Structure 1
């Protein structure tokens, strides 16, 4: 079971905060450091303000050496697909081939309004997501010396040199996720290397994974070629007092976290993660909300991770 640290910097974090967590993530043996791609905080003032996801990852690409880096997930409404393909390819080069791109349709209307980003209706956002995936994968996979064209309803590329190329071949892994019953699984089957279910009970994760497997079969793709992952809020304590302190620090209740997250003692966290393994999940993103508490990650690395690798 891969364990990745997943941060929400829009809630209030500087680049230096993220660098400390990313370097601790690497030193402690986690598989990846991922961050959300948001421009507006939720239920807080978000001070000192948002950091750009791909600028952050570019910096971390030079300040880490082995940990995987990526977004969960970039909104297709934020960036034109051609320039996004360039940015991600460049960060992949800067990291020596450690980048992964999570890409979604976008959902948080308030942040679009706050920063002047167009927010089309849901159907159009999915259309734009599909075209973005076509363009990004097309640019990366076009052989060097060849050019790429795309004539879509929302984006048109003519005679693109399809440069730069990422280090990873044929391209960096792409992550698609969400709860949609039809279009989301179909997009994942067509484009994704990994499908993610975020903050959902085991039963819901199992149902959605089943839909993705069926979509893979429809697309004549072997379902086992897809990695299935889940995201869960992390709140672990060696004692009940430590657990309560960590829950209070993120404004949550211990009982609610035990039910809905990867929460409790290290053994309880292992037990919860194993439930997801049973339905096909092989990677867990641990949403880490208190970025000042590096001892939290140390506890997971020393008491949870060894049990999951047996």
Structure 2
């Protein structure tokens, strides 16, 4: 059975300086105009070609956003498990979910940006193996278990989350890595893809859906039981905060055009929103959105497909082992 399309927005990372007051204003505006979710990246540092930048620490800001919003889901897109001690991370997840009243979505991956690993003294080797151990510990703690684990990379002894969380938060994996998918697909609620993994097109997304179907079957999971979501690169108006990326065509146009409906191909192969008026379930009133973010609507190739729009953020590679 098809489900309603949900649309979220990821707040900026390093495109320009944004302080807490503006993040809070963006989050309140996103909730007011009808977005379904708000996301932050979990990164520390980017460096390339003489430039460097870094976002605020994600978990502190997620706790703040949870406290000032009431309806939207929120979470990291996605959290790098290999940045964190797994037991301490489980405590953070439970705390933010408590503040949000059950709206937290725990997006998770294995990390990819070696610069931040090296800069902050975090081991970059054996990322898939470290992820597998960490995910097992975090998942079991969030499920309410008392956990003892003697692994190659992590050890916990009679660990338990107290106070006991009221619920296990929703889990979402953002990866195409075989080992990360094998570890997570038996347990997560949602799979997410970054826009450049599928070319930012409905056709590319459909191809990824078939790949995830196969991965679910290998993991012994009914493919229909896992929700699908995609990040969509959106360019609003003439903003150039994010440079062009080879092989990726953004969905672009005015806020009114993008809010009106699905994309069509324009001159030069650019994907532009169809400006014709239409009744479109889940569309956002763009006139109320004052922070240069907007929703993206792309064709769903199958049911259970939530689309998240991202209007800014630094390039990232493939989450999971490489």
Into which bin does the TM-score normalised by the smaller protein fall? 0.7 to 0.9
Aligned equivalents of 2:175 and 2:299: distance in 1?
16
The counterpart of 1:56, out of the listed 52, 58, 61, is: 61
Cross-structure match for 1:227: 227
Aligned equivalents of 2:97 and 2:79: distance in 1?
16
Cross-structure match for 2:13: 9
Offset from partner CA, 1:58-94 (integer Å, 9 cap, x none): 1111111111110011112211110000001001111
For residues 96-175 of structure 1, what are the structure 2 equivalents within 5 Å? Answer: 96-120=101-125, 124-142=126-144, 147-167=146-166, 169=167, 171-175=168-172
How far is the alpha carbon of 1:277 from its aligned partner?
Answer: 0.7
Q: Secondary structure at the match of 1:214?
A: helix
TM-score by length of 2: 0.75
The counterpart of 1:266, out of the listed 250, 258, 268, is: 258
Q: Which runs of 5+ in 2 are unaligned?
A: 265-295, 314-322
For residues 43-82 of structure 1, what are the structure 2 equivalents within 5 Å? Answer: 44-46=51-53, 49-82=54-87
Offset from partner CA, 1:227-264 (integer Å, 9 cap, x none): 1111111123xxxxxx2x22x343449xx89x622323
Cross-structure match for 1:178: 175
For residues 265-304 of structure 1, what are the structure 2 equivalents within 5 Å? Answer: 265-266=257-258, 270-271=262-263, 275-280=298-303, 282-289=305-312
1:185/1:211 contact within 8 Å kept? no
Cross-structure match for 1:20: 25
Q: Which runs of 5+ in 1 are unaligned?
A: 237-242, 291-310
Whose helix proportion is higher, 1 or 2? 1
Aligned equivalents of 1:31 and 1:39: distance in 2?
26
Compared with structure 1, are the counterparts of its residues 249 and 142 closer, same or farther at alpha carbon in structure 2 (3 Å cutoff)? closer
1:135/1:150 contact within 8 Å kept? yes
Q: Secondary structure at the match of 1:260?
A: coil
1:230/1:281 contact within 8 Å kept? no
For residues 78-89 of structure 1, what are the structure 2 equivalents within 5 Å? Answer: 78-89=83-94
How far is the alpha carbon of 1:159 from its aligned partner?
Answer: 1.1
Aligned equivalents of 1:277 and 1:42: distance in 2?
35
Aligned equivalents of 2:218 and 2:76: distance in 1?
28
For residues 222-261 of structure 1, what are the structure 2 equivalents within 5 Å? Answer: 222-236=222-236, 243=237, 245-246=238-239, 248-252=240-244, 260-261=249-250
Aligned equivalents of 2:183 and 2:171: distance in 1?
11
Q: Which has the higher contact order (CA 8 A, sep 6+)?
A: 2
How far is the alpha carbon of 1:281 from its aligned partner?
Answer: 6.2
Cross-structure match for 2:213: 213
